Chain A
Amino acid sequence: MKRVSLASWLITILAGLYFLVPLYAAFQFSLQMKRDTLSFAAYASVFQSDVFLRAFVFSLVASLAAIMAGAALVVPTAYWVRLRLPKLRPVVEFISLLPLIIPSVVLVFGHIRMFGSSSFLPLTTTDLGTNLLLVAGYVVLSLPYMFRAIDNGMAAIDIGTLTEAAESLGASRARIILGVIFPNIRAAIVSGAFLTFSICLGEFAIASLLNRQTFGPYLVQLGQDRAYEPAALAIMSFGLTWILMALMQAFANRKPGQRLLPFRKGPTR
């Protein structure tokens, strides 16, 4: 058994080097913007750039819009399918998984042709329409993850009983979804949301082909123009991905009804 363990350590150390050296290299490189001295000048330069701020905020808004639209679409559907139309479940689930086999460059190709200037719904001819198309594309990309997260969340609560209880108190259908189902699967939605966020924030193909000035195309442009800022952004992106994944995990493992912050005491009744 000793020999196996030694080999394991060796493999782990080699893998560790492979994973950590690029991060260290990017970090070290990012500090060298000023000659002969280490500084955070590259980071400052990124944050002082209007182009960065505009692109990042635009991506942030588009991702948030995609998350909200995705949740508004998936929650009622998953609820209704579980409650009333279990026979449709395989169809809905199959559709939700389709984006996994469609590369985003193919998806946006379809969108551009379908909603081009000569189509019945020429979304790409106006700025607003193109932005809508971007968000729609992001919603499609995130469907597999959103649907699975929310559907798992619903599996953990008894939606049948909750619905009956709410109905017997006279709640309307919309009130049940907003006031009863939604709060109970909040953690599942947030978990799906963070994953959606990490997919959409740096997305390149769709944004670039729709000519939207988002974070992804900005990064590619920056890589062609600058030397030190890209390294700084690589480090910040890794940190951001880490935070998003940690939050996703934290929410995915939470039980329904658990508080947002585990250490905060609830009101005593």
Chain B
Amino acid sequence: MQPISRMSWLGVLPWFGFTLLFLIAPMSYLILGAFQSPEGGLTLANMAGLSAPDIAASFWLSIRLSLASALVGTVTGLLLAHAVVLGGLPIWLRRAITAFCGVASNFAGVPLAFAFIATLGRLGLVTVLLKSLGLDLYAMGFSLFSFWGLTLTYLYFQMPLMLLVITPALEGLRPEWREAAESLGADGAQYWLRVGAPVLAPSVLGCFLLLFANAFGTLATIIALTGSNFSVVPILLFQQIRGNVLYNPNLGYALALGMVLIMVVSNLLYLALRARAERWQK
């Protein structure tokens, strides 16, 4: 091998050039803009502006929607993963479910919205079927284009994602632990409460945060389902970029920064919890 020359940094120049131009500089531009007044002076007014009622309501709606969809996704995904990994299903079925989840976790966006409109929209298959059985979903207050309708739609990619990311942790539960607990007289519930749950808790919580972040950035599915009536933060930002609906460009930057901050916090917590969880998987 040649000795390291002073010119070897030239080899990574394209990388740093590209990421500086198209990733780091644009993001810095937004972040700086979030702390500038329209005249160019430094200010915290934009960040404070995020607490204005309509913007705060958007953040709150986004957070609630992401929490609900992450929670439902975590619980159902965990149940399904438990059934698949520890439930004694035949191996072909296990493989089929895992493969399907790989596809479904990537099947988001507009086509997913279309499939759900055909299922639970006003003229959807299930809606019509239940109506003929005397159960009128829309008369009962359900709507696909509402909070819980969106949550149900998100579940289509959240549950599979949960299964994929939690499977290694479930496989890491050693049979010896269960045997040891049983030989000491523990029943199934005690084993899960005292051994299984504490070992799995960091992984499950970490995956929950991953699902939260996954839902938080979702834009296309909502637009296809609700137009732009459902004003979560990504939709608000989308409209701001389109037509400056906030009447203040710098407030738009603050909105973008707020989104990124929520993503950063949930991802950092996810990484910290994953590191904690890996102690058991050696």
Listed in ascending order, the chain A residues whose CB lies under 8 Å from chain B are 1, 4-5, 7-9, 11-12, 15, 18-19, 21-26, 28-30, 73-74, 76-77, 80-81, 84-85, 88, 92, 95, 98-114, 136-137, 139-140, 143, 160, 163-164, 167, 198, 202-205, 208-209, 216, 219-220, 223-224, 230-231, 233-235, 237-238, 241-242, 244-246, 249
Assess whether B223 is in contact with A230, with CB atoms less than 8 Å apart. no
A85 and B29 in contact (CB under 8 A), knowing A26-B118, A103-B259, A238-B111?
no
> Which one of B80-88, B167-175, B274-282 is at the A interface?
B80-88
Interface SS majority for chain A: helix
A164 and B238 in contact (CB under 8 A), knowing A11-B80, A22-B119?
no
Other-chain residue from A28, A113, A209, A241 in contact with B103 (beta carbon distance below 8 A): A241
Q: Does B206 contact A (CB under 8 A)?
A: no
Residues 1-39 (chain B) with a chain A CB within 8 angstroms:
1-2, 4, 8-9, 11-12, 14-15, 18-19, 22-27, 29-30, 33
CB<8 Å pairs between A and B, sample of 21: A9-B83, A11-B87, A15-B80, A15-B97, A22-B156, A23-B115, A30-B118, A73-B14, A77-B14, A85-B11, A101-B267, A105-B237, A108-B241, A112-B241, A143-B19, A167-B2, A205-B234, A209-B242, A223-B224, A231-B115, A237-B111
A98 and B241 in contact (CB under 8 A), knowing A205-B219, A249-B102?
no
Assess whether A234 is in contact with B234, with CB atoms less than 8 Å apart. no
Please give me the 5 A-B residue pairs with the lowest Cβ-Cβ distance, nearest first: A8-B87, A110-B26, A80-B11, A237-B111, A25-B125
Contacts of B119 in A (CB 8 A): 21-22, 25-26
Assess whether B8 is in contact with A234, with CB atoms less than 8 Å apart. no
> By the criterion of a CB under 8 Å from any partner CB, how many residues of chain B are at the interface?
77
A111 and B12 in contact (CB under 8 A), knowing A11-B83, A209-B241?
no
How far is the CB of A198 from the nearest CB of chain B, in Å?
Answer: 6
State A10–B241 Cα separation when bound (angstroms): 47
State A160–B117 Cα separation when bound (angstroms): 54
How far is the CB of A258 from the nearest CB of chain B, in Å?
Answer: 21
- Among B2, B23, B97, chain A packs the most CB atoms within 10 A around the CB of B23
How far is the CB of B235 from the nearest CB of chain A, in Å?
Answer: 9
Contacts of B33 in A (CB 8 A): 113
Contacts of B263 in A (CB 8 A): 101-103
Assess whether A233 is in contact with B111, with CB atoms less than 8 Å apart. yes
Residues 37-74 (chain B) with a chain A CB within 8 angstroms:
none
How far is the CB of B258 from the nearest CB of chain A, in Å?
Answer: 10
Contacts of B102 in A (CB 8 A): 245, 249
Contacts of B273 in A (CB 8 A): none
Assess whether A25 is in contact with B219, with CB atoms less than 8 Å apart. no
State A253–B76 Cα separation when bound (angstroms): 29
Other-chain residue from B1, B107, B112, B256 in contact with A109 (beta carbon distance below 8 A): B256
Assess whether A234 is in contact with B238, with CB atoms less than 8 Å apart. no
Other-chain residue from B15, B104, B115, B156 in contact with A73 (beta carbon distance below 8 A): B15
How far is the CB of A220 from the nearest CB of chain B, in Å?
Answer: 6
Q: Mark B241-258, 1 if CB is under 8 A from A, else 0.
A: 110000000001000100
Contacts of B82 in A (CB 8 A): 8, 11
Contacts of A164 in B (CB 8 A): 1
State A26–B119 Cα separation when bound (angstroms): 7
Assess whether A198 is in contact with B118, with CB atoms less than 8 Å apart. no
A231 and B114 in contact (CB under 8 A), knowing A4-B87, A111-B26, A209-B242?
yes
Contacts of A244 in B (CB 8 A): 106
Known: A139-B22, A140-B23. 17 other contacts (CB 8 A): A26-B115, A26-B119, A30-B118, A76-B11, A101-B263, A101-B267, A103-B234, A105-B241, A106-B260, A107-B27, A114-B29, A204-B220, A209-B241, A219-B111, A234-B112, A241-B106, A245-B106
Other-chain residue from B15, B27, B115, B118 in contact with A102 (beta carbon distance below 8 A): B27
Contacts of B154 in A (CB 8 A): none
Assess whether B83 is in contact with A12, with CB atoms less than 8 Å apart. yes
Assess whether A19 is in contact with B156, with CB atoms less than 8 Å apart. yes
Assess whether B224 is in contact with A110, with CB atoms less than 8 Å apart. no
Contacts of B8 in A (CB 8 A): 80, 84-85
Assess whether A95 is in contact with B23, with CB atoms less than 8 Å apart. yes
A22 and B11 in contact (CB under 8 A), knowing A99-B23, A245-B102?
no
Q: Mark B87-112, 1 if CB is under 8 A from A, else 0.
A: 11100010001011011101101111
Assess whether B9 is in contact with A11, with CB atoms less than 8 Å apart. no
Other-chain residue from A18, A106, A163, A245 in contact with B256 (beta carbon distance below 8 A): A106
Contacts of A74 in B (CB 8 A): 15
State A77–B13 Cα separation when bound (angstroms): 9
Q: In chain A, what residue has the closest Cβ to B116? A: A22
How far is the CB of B251 from the nearest CB of chain A, in Å?
Answer: 13
Other-chain residue from B12, B116, B125 in contact with A80 (beta carbon distance below 8 A): B12
How far is the CB of B178 from the nearest CB of chain A, in Å?
Answer: 11
Q: Does B79 contact A (CB under 8 A)?
A: yes
How far is the CB of B69 from the nearest CB of chain A, in Å?
Answer: 14
Contacts of A85 in B (CB 8 A): 8-9, 11-12
How far is the CB of B194 from the nearest CB of chain A, in Å?
Answer: 18
